[in-house]
Amino acid sequence: MAHPMIAPSILSADFARLADEAAAVAGSDWLHVDVMDAHFVPNLTLGLPVVQSLLKATDIPLDCHLMIDNPGRWAPPYAEAGAHNVTFHAEATDDPIAVARDIRAAGAKAGLSVKPGTPIEPYLEILKEFDTLLVMSVEPGFGGQSFMPEVLSKAAAVRKLVDSGELTLLVEIDGGINVDTVEAAAEAGVDCFVAGSAVYGAADPAAAVRGLRAQAAAASPHLTIVQ
């Protein structure tokens, strides 16, 4: 049994008030931080200095999702800074194992992310080097897009390997997660749900987090809320 983890994405928050926006989602399991470089994805967000400041402003573990080229160069400093998770894209490097090992050696959990069109089969063998698999359910780059249900087969395939004891990692999903989609993701075997607009667009973001967690727990036999 796993606790359904909710990770609000600050991409949908007010960047001028990040400390307050982190406080607004108290009770979240992780705070998802989208780092975009305008090369790997067609958008530019924030980098290491903002993450260093956020680390001082919140106790919520930071789940840094690097949508950047050359993660081998840029990922370890996020781990050294104190990020809980540092996730990079399979499509951005020829040597994901080396990047994962560097992240872990620097003290963080290592995550591998795949775009919607990237198959998971070529990466199954190396997932033992990772603590999380982040399945993108929208094209990375922007919040507020529609959920792509066709990616759920990837989450389900990895869930099977976790349940059979062949792998130990968390299955995370990112993009278009809201009250209409969270249950399908939970049924597919997701452990951790990133939600941007569904949380920060809500009148009460902390209540939205609790609501998504309760929906996920109710939808899947592998999830139960740990208080």
Ligand X SMILES: O=C(CO)[C@@H](O)[C@H](O)COP(=O)(O)O
Could you tell me which residues are annotated as the binding site for a divalent metal cation?
32, 34, 65, 174
As a whole number of Å, the CA-based R_g of the chain is 16
Give the shortest CB-166-to-ligand X separation in angstroms.
28
Q: Which of 139, 145, 81, 79 is nearest to 110 (CA)?
A: 79
**9 CB neighbour count, 10 Å cutoff:** 25
Q: Total residues at the site for ligand X (CB under 6 A)? A: 22
Residue 34 catalytic? yes
Crossing angle between the packed helical segments 96-105 and 71-81, to the nearest 10 degrees: 20
Which residue number has the CB closest to ligand X?
196
Q: Which of 4, 5, 6, 11 binds ligand X (CB under 6 A)?
A: 11
Residue 84 has phi, psi (to 5 degrees) of -75, -45
The residue with tokens 């951790």 is 192
Residue 69 catalytic? no
Q: Which of 34, 131, 172, 187 binds ligand X (CB under 6 A)?
A: 34
Q: Rule CB under 6 A: say whether 197 interacts with ligand X.
A: yes
- Burial of 219 (C-beta count, 10 Å sphere; 0-12/13-18/19+): middle
List residues forming the annotated binding site.
9, 32, 34, 65, 141-144, 174-176, 196-197
Q: Rule CB under 6 A: say whether 89 interacts with ligand X.
A: no
Q: Rule CB under 6 A: say whether 32 interacts with ligand X.
A: yes
The residue with tokens 């406080």 is 23
Residues paired with 134 in a beta bridge: 113, 172
Q: Which of residues 124-143 bind ligand X (CB under 6 A)?
A: 138, 140-143
Q: Which of 4, 5, 6, 12 binds ligand X (CB under 6 A)?
A: 12
Please say whether the beta carbons of 53 and 45 come within 8 A: no
**118 CB neighbour count, 10 Å cutoff:** 16
Q: Which of 9, 58, 93, 181 binds ligand X (CB under 6 A)?
A: 9
Q: Rule CB under 6 A: say whether 177 interacts with ligand X.
A: yes
Q: Which of 68, 194, 202, 212 binds ligand X (CB under 6 A)?
A: 194
Residues annotated catalytic, as ranges: 34, 174
Q: Interface with ligand X by CB under 6 A: which residues?
A: 9, 11-12, 32, 34, 65, 138, 140-145, 174-177, 194-198
